[in-house]
Amino acid sequence: MPPEDLPIDTKVRSVRPTDHDRKLSDGGGLFLLIKLTGGKL
């Protein structure tokens, strides 16, 4: 069964940079790092 809080395409595209680096996690070990500059790694 996949984790419930998956970073789906619309969620990933809509996230904006904040005043610090931020991680968007799927709850299963996969995460997306949103940098201060707006880069998504």
pTM value surpassing 0.75: no
19 C-beta neighbours (distance < 10 Å), count: 6
- 1-41 tens-digit pLDDT: 455 555 567 778 888 888 899 888 877 788 889 898 888 88
The length of the chain in residues reads 41
The pLDDT assigned to 41 comes to 84
- Extents of the domains making up the chain: 1-41
By the 8 A CB rule, do 26 and 6 touch?
A: yes
The pLDDT assigned to 18 comes to 85
In whole angstroms, give the CA distance from residue 36 to residue 18: 6
Cβ-proximal residues to 9 (8 Å cutoff; 6+ apart), any chain: none
Which of 41, 30, 37 has the alpha carbon at shortest distance from 16? Answer: 37
